[in-house]
Chain A
Amino acid sequence: MCVINVPILIQTNNTTNISTYYTCLPQHRTSGYGNRSIWIISLVDEVECFRLCFRRNWHNGIVGWGLKPNGSSFDVVGRNALNDELKLAKFVNNVVTNNHNWHGYPADYRNNPQDRPMTWILLLWRNNNIITKTHMRRIKKGQECRL
C-alpha cells in the first residue's frame, strides 16, 4: 500500500546492505505549494514509475528520470502550475547514512532548467529506442515535444 510521507522499501542490497526507499511527498500531490508540479497519476503508479527508473538504471545514484510507457507512447504523469501536461518525471536521492531515500515529481523541462534530463539519460533512452533523436534534441533545447 502506498501512503504519502511513508518511505516504501524498494530493495535492499545484500552485499552492500544499502536499502533504497521511495517516499511520495505531499508537496507534489496538491496545489498550494508554490509553483510545484503535481502528479496526476495514482500513488501506486508514481512508485511504479520510480521502480522502472531504478530497475532500468535510469539514474546516476543522485538523480533519476522516469517515463510511464503506454504502448508506443507515454502517459501524462503530471501538470505544472500553468496546467501544461508533463510526461517526464524526475527523481532525487536523499542519501542518509546507509539508506537511499528517493522522492520525485513531474519534470517541467520547458520551464525549469533543473528539470531538463541530462544528455546521458536521453542518449540511453534513444539507444534503447525509447525516444527518437528528434525527441532528444527538442527536450535538450526546451522545445515542445510530443512523447
Chain B
Amino acid sequence: MSPLKIVILGDYWDVQIYRGRLYLWTMDGSIRIIEWEKFIDSLCERYPSEALALTCAFSRGDYLYDYDFSLFFNDNEIRNILTQKFQKVNTYNLHFKATDLEPYIYGEQDNPFKELQTDTEIYYNKIYAITDNALFKTTAHRNIRKYPVSTRPQKLWDCSILSLKASKYGNIALSGGRDGLFEYEANNFSQNGNLRRVDSKVYQISEEHSSFSDWSYSSVYSSSQISKCFIAVFNWIDNLSSDDFFSRDRAFRSSRKGRKFEGFFYDNQIFHSEDRGALSWGCGDKIYRAKGNYIEIAKFNQYKTRETTEFEKLFNYVDKIHLQAWKGNIISAGISFFGSIIECENALVVLKSDGEFVNIPGQSTRWRVYPRSKRYENHLHVIFDDRLVIYSFNQDYFVDQLTKKYGMYYNRKRN
C-alpha cells in the first residue's frame, strides 16, 4: 500500500503537529498555526466517500490500531475494501498553496526563539527548542489566537546541542555532539537516581559523541556518525515506602518512581560484530545498523531488565538484509510504528512494516515522525525546498506486530 500525501507549498524550516494543530515555522521568522482537524474535516466534506480513509490517514492514526478492529481485519474482504479506500485517496490531487490554508489558520506570530532553531519537540503543551547556544521551552497550544505560542520562552540550559528527543515519560534526550549525551527532566518526577547532574534538571548520560538519539522505553539509544553507537539501559525502580504505596494520589505515587542506569551496550555487542562506518539507531523494541547495501535488525526487550542482570539477554539478533545501494551516504535515521526511515545524501528511504520500501527522492530540509503521538503516529512530515509533504502510512494496521521487522511494535490494548 503506497503512502498517502498532502502537499503544502511554501518556504518552511520546521514542522510539528500536536493536539489538532499543525505548527509551521517559515524561513522569514514566523510561525503559523493551522487548525489541522478542521482542515481534514474540509477534505472529508469534499470527498465524503473517502472520509474514513482521510480521517484515519491524517487525523486519527490510532483509530484502526484499536484492538477491536483486529477482528475486522481478519476478514479479507473488509481488508480489501479498506485498502481500496486508502488507494482511492491517492488519486486525488491534495496539493495546496499556503493561501489555501488561510481559512484554517488559528494564529500567526513571530518565532519566539528569535532565530531559526536547530530542533524542536513538543511535550505536555510545551515546545522545547534548541538554538545555537541554548535549550529553551515555551508554552504551546494556548487558546489565544494572537499568540498561540507564548512569546516568552524560558532558557533552560546554556548548551550547544545537535538534536533533542522527548520520551513519553517526561525526559528529553539531548545529543551534544562531542560533549556527549544528556537528558533533561521535563517534569518534576525524580527519575535520574544515579546520573551526574550538570545543571538544574540536566543530567549527563554519557561522554561519548552523540549526533542524535531516541527512546527505547526507559532506555536511550545514541547514534553517532563519528564515534560508537550505543544504548544506555535504564530500569524503572520504585522508591515507594509502604505508606506511599497506599496513597490515592496517582501523581504522587508516580513521583516516587525512579530510573536506574544499568549500563551501556554498544552496537558491536548488539550485532555481534564490529563494522566501522556503519550507523546504528534504535527506538522502541527495534535497533538497526546500516551501511552501504545492507541493513541489520535486532530486537531489544526492555522488560527483561526486571528479570535478569545478564543484559546480553536483552538483545536478539533478527536478520541481515541486503539491499540496493543507498542513495549516497547515510545522514540520519529514525523509527516509527509504520517502519524505519533512513535519510541518505539524496533521498529518504522508508522501510515499511509490510516489507516494502518507499524511496522519496531529493534532499530534504527536515523530516519528522511522531511515534509518541496519540493520533499522528502514522505521519512522516518532510520539508523540501519549496513545500511540506505530509505522508501517511497505513499498512501497519494489517501487519503482525510481533513478527514485523521494520517499525516499532504497536501494543494494541484491549479496552
Contacts and interface: CB of A to CB of B under 8 A. Distances in A.
A132 B363 contact: yes
A111 B365 contact: no
- Which of B27, B177, B179, B364 lies at the interface centre, i.e. has the most chain A CB atoms within 10 A of its CB? B177
Interface residues of B, number: 29
Contacts of B383: 133
A141 B119 contact: yes
Contact of B116 (A119, A132, A134, A146): A119
Contact of A137 (B160, B212, B345, B365): B365
A147 B163 CA distance: 21
Interface in B295-346: 329, 331-332, 345
- Which of B27, B116, B226, B332 lies at the interface centre, i.e. has the most chain A CB atoms within 10 A of its CB? B116
B392 interface: no
A98 B331 CA distance: 45
A143 B225 contact: yes
A123 B385 CA distance: 14
A110 interface: yes
B131 A119 contact: yes
Contacts of A140: 118, 132, 162
Interface residues of A, number: 22
A142 interface: yes
Contacts of B176: 113
Nearest to A109: B177
A112 B115 CA distance: 21
Interface string A115-147: 010111001001000001110111011111010
A113 B177 contact: yes
B280 interface: no
A106 B345 CA distance: 23
Interface of B: 13, 27, 115-116, 118-119, 131-132, 160, 162-163, 176-179, 211-212, 225-226, 329, 331-332, 345, 363-366, 383, 385
Given A116-B160, A133-B27, A143-B211, 18 more contacts: A110-B225, A111-B226, A112-B178, A113-B177, A120-B115, A133-B365, A134-B363, A134-B364, A134-B365, A136-B365, A137-B366, A141-B119, A141-B332, A142-B177, A142-B211, A143-B331, A144-B225, A146-B345
Interface of A: 110-113, 116, 118-120, 123, 126, 132-134, 136-138, 140-144, 146
9 contacts: A111-B177, A119-B131, A132-B385, A133-B27, A134-B364, A140-B132, A141-B118, A144-B329, A146-B345
